[in-house]
Structure 1
Amino acid sequence: MKEASDLGGWELKNTFDGREAKFIQKIVTDISLKLHLTNCSIDDKLVGMETRVKNVISSLEMDSEDDVQTVGIWGMGGAGKTTLARAVFDHISIWFEGNSFVENVRECSKGSLSGLRKLQKQVLKDVLNDQSIHVTSISDGINKMKKTMPGRKVLIVLDDVDDIDQLEALAGELSWFKPGSRIIITTRDKQVLIAQGVDVDNIYNISLLSREEAICLFSRHAFRSAKMGRYPGTPKNNTTGENIKKLEISYDGLENDHKEIFLDVACMLKGEPKDKAIKILEGCGFHAQIGLEVLEQKSLINILDYGTLSMHDHLEEMGRNIVRRLHPDEPNRHSRLWVKKEIEEILINDLGTKATRSMNLMYPGIHPAIVMKSLRKMKELRLLCVFDGNKTWEIDEGVEYLPNSLRSLNWSGYALSCLPQTFQANNLVNLEMPWSYISQLWEGGERKVLEKLRFVDLFSSKLRTFDLGMTRNLETFEYVGVSIHQNSLAMLELIVEPLGICPLHPNSNLPKFKHQCKYGEVLPLAGGNIEKLISFGLCACTNLESFSASICGLQHLTALTLEGCIPEVPKDLWKLESLEQLTLSMKEINHLPDNICMLKHLKYLDLKSCWLLEQLPMDLGGLQCLEELHLTDCISLQDIPNNICKLKFLKKLHLPYCIQVEKLPEELGRLECLKLLDIEAQVSSCSILKSITNFKKSELPKLKFLKVSGSKVGNFNLGLITYVRGAIFETCNDIYAK
């Protein structure tokens, strides 16, 4: 009884202006809705559907009747958008005065205005429960909706929309509907939702099954059991003809160039960094930036957190089926080749043709001379990838050949000492020859101007000299032990590091230039266009005693990495006015200069492994643009200053192993943009964070990921994680959740 008396509730005087009838109606509706959601069962065959239904209903804000809410469900064909929309509809439709579920909007309205008119008629009949309604034209249907819809609270689902005209005819304006109404739109094309004005936060990107859910579904069908029992592994994807037909709907609606880009991703570029793929595709004559955006909006590709191109396995299989089915029994006529057995047969029998645009050959069992001989017939080859396993071959000079049409050449373990003399490489955008025997680009040190070359990877090759003057537009260069001509360092990142150390730069999209040197070696930075350097790094150069003051005068520098190099932070660091990313991972640092907070454009600050650092600058809030702060392994850090709450754009805060920190700032909840909070100790004896402040539900509204492990957390408000997608509590034995 005492606990019940302490519970909060609604007060009549503060609800509906004291109107008792509406107050009672609100209570009845709220309780009934909760009971309905509890009792309404979801088909147990639909693995993972319950969570997704709750997420969509949460977005609909059913408690609010002040306005009309529109929610979009977006995802690839076959991902379950219609099934999810139907489940949500079944759950909540009873709480509306009228409802309509309009299936197959795209199919029903395709190529005919009468199709849209019929759909308008369906909506009016369903909502008004009047079968005698007639719609003579689209404009007539719109007028009837404007007149009749505002009188009742409705739920309308528009399923499989692919054109803004469909929405304008069926739900053109929110003003058509009575406040409290809800509109749900499913689509494969995100741009349709954006054009309709759907708020980005109300676009639900339907997630595919997690690994655990997929295994559960597999177990149910394979073993007639929902229990996983022994781990059954991951079944091989088998895209049926019906699924292929569904997936191809989005592909068929693409422009020709966008279709070509999709097929290149499916057959060759999946897993490549987006920026790199854009340059390669642009070299092929495509408007790749726009093309990849279109593919992403239509759920045909996705971009991973690290900026790499990705694609669902079914879509990859669909793309490859499209390539193969034009000439199913003649692989030499395919535009793209990736099946090893077929490729080797083509090469051995010299069946290459102009039809081939790209080829991916892994671990060939044939001599490179045979490969090059057949390449002479592939005059239009744009993308070539060969992984040769670093074998030693001897080859006659006369057969060396690579087509000048190549935009991307990736030949790991290339067995020759140089590129073919006839290969001009004037179209080449990407050159990758790691672990190769190449010692010079062309025999005799011949110098060719490679204006289009942007990316070079000669990691662990035999190359010992490289003239950057040949490649004035170079953006990325990776290698070991190559001498560099200091005449063209413009727009390159310089990372000086000892052999064996290869740190991951915080922004993998930045141009990179790696040079591995011996401990204490000083790389000369004089000459060239050093003033245009945009990124610089020193990693594990332990003999270096000081940091050149001239670096602090580089006005274009946007990224600086100092890892295990010098004992103190340069005092003039604040002069780097353009700096956006700063990594100071040095165990010897015991303090940071206060003027570091004058870096007004800094977005990323990494202080991991600064073991001796006891305090952060008192004016930390001066970093107005900071979005990500890493304090991992700052084992001497005593506390987090309150002024961290001034970082209004902070999205990620990492505090693993800050074992001296016992509490977070009381006003941390003011960080309205915070999406990730990582508090990890994994040290059972530490006393890190004995409590997490009782945040209000209105605080930290964007927090999506929370990790608390190995800490002595003793007091935690679960209200904090109302909207958190991933919350992990590990070995927090003393936790007490309020």
Structure 2
Amino acid sequence: MFSENYAASSWCLDELVKIMECRKTFQQTVLPIFYDIVPFDVQAQNGSFTEAFAKHEERFKEGSDGKVKKWRAALTEAANLDEAKLIEKIVEEVGNILDLEHLSVANHPIGLDDRVQELSTLLGMESNNNDVCIVVVWGISGIGKTTIAKKLNNLIHRKFDGSSFLADVRETWKLPNGLTIDRDYFGSGSKIVITTRDLSSLNIEVDKIYTPKELDKDKSPQLFSWHAFREDHPKENYVELSNQTVHYARGLPLALEILGSFLFPIRSIPEWESAIEKLKKIPHNGIQAKLKISFDSLSNEVQDLFLDIACFFAGMNRDFTIKILKGCKLYPEIGFKILVNRCLIKYGPYNELVMHDMLRDIGREIVKTKSNDELERRSRLWLNSLEELLLNDYIRLVEVDESIGCLDKLVVLDMTNCRKLEQLSSSISMLKSLEYLDLSGCSKLRKLDAFKRSPLKSLYTTLSSWALQTKNTSSIGLPLQGSSCLKKLKLAYCNLSHLPIEIGSLISLTHVDLTGNNLCTLLDSICNLTCLQELKMVGCNLSNLPSEMERLISLIYLDIGGNNLCTLPNSIYNLTCLQRLEMAGCNICLVKLEG
């Protein structure tokens, strides 16, 4: 900073020489400021500089390695720097630091720069196009629309002659007919950014629409961790709990911030577990209030449609849902369009209805709240927590709807004596908790393709003679292959003539009941079942048993009564875990019993 008395100080002049050397050597930026003095006086050492240098010449007239000459050269060089550009840069830099209009953005702007850059590109900030450009930032509440707009405003507003940021336009100005903008009111090159949850509220022609995506699997944990742990990663022993919470938030920045801040004061793992379970049932008030704004703005009919989707149809095929709702004398197509425009639903790659988990939970919470949480007074009942579904003796049941696949907590499914049931929906393979399935008496059942590559963990399949009357496992397509987690298999009185060779691949089986079939022989592959504890083959017309029975190392109970067996393989004597052996009605002479 040059002032009237600057040249009188030899220390300042030495410092200036050093500054200009650093500019040449290290390409450092030098920004000269002239305070109460014109640049020409500094450049030519006129005015007060003339008197100061006369004294310096007198003082250093004998040598000093040309000190005065270096001072003059440094002053001239500094004063010759492009003043206009330098002043403009100073104003910009100082303005950015001291800007009173600086808009506050997120304390932890994880993923924000990428989104701002995307928006900036859509606005054409790097192009020379001078047209007025209007870009709409459209998305669900909490996705970060306003934060993105504020950050971009902070970065670019000084590049324009004027700028303005108007917050909460609809709520503040109460626009009954939506937002209208006349491009003619704006100067050449103007950039206009509008944020909205509802495209239908805009009565203007926009150039482009920017839809921010949810944070990805890398950035979501970072944002959550900054709020929950005050660092960019979870603390040790909290990784799994953090992953659960991040998964629930589904990349929604608002949810990640609120949930992280909510969990920050909680320090014990059991308290975290309890808090997370509660959040899954009852959404956090801060999140619920924000997301519910869009719901409250809907008409009664569309609110009902939203609640129907939240309770029943989220994740289901759009066309199927329309068919169901039309059957209820409802007309959902217009409502779907409104919900899509307000980012409350979207369509997935397979035309399924996609609703954010938190919107779904808020919808269900609205239903519960309206009924004072009394089950019998609810307008809608959803069965996602159902553990037992008993349809036994439901003789008019012909087909099981694919929506049964949504019952992800179902453990028991009993369809005994459903005599008109012809096929099972493939969605049954989605029942990851199912342990017991009873199809006894389903006399018209023809295919069980639902269990191919099934993820079922512990399936107890009961098939009676009615279910497979005069059929074998091949003719009805019993898909044993791929069911490696199957533990209990009952095929009693099914009139089977043989077993599929794949039975040997069911290595988790502990109980097998083949009673009352006409097998004649037993496949050697059954000896692969090293976990088998109980094997019942009563009245199967068997004439011999596999020679490698000793491989059934876990077998405790074996019932082979009522067969045509005359001898037993020697290997049966090596079943060291066998505690009970029944052979009633067999013509077997035991010549060797040891152990």
TM-score by length of 2: 0.45
TM-score by length of 1: 0.37
Q: Which has the higher contact order (CA 8 A, sep 6+)?
A: 2
**Higher helix residue share:** 2
**Higher strand residue share:** 1
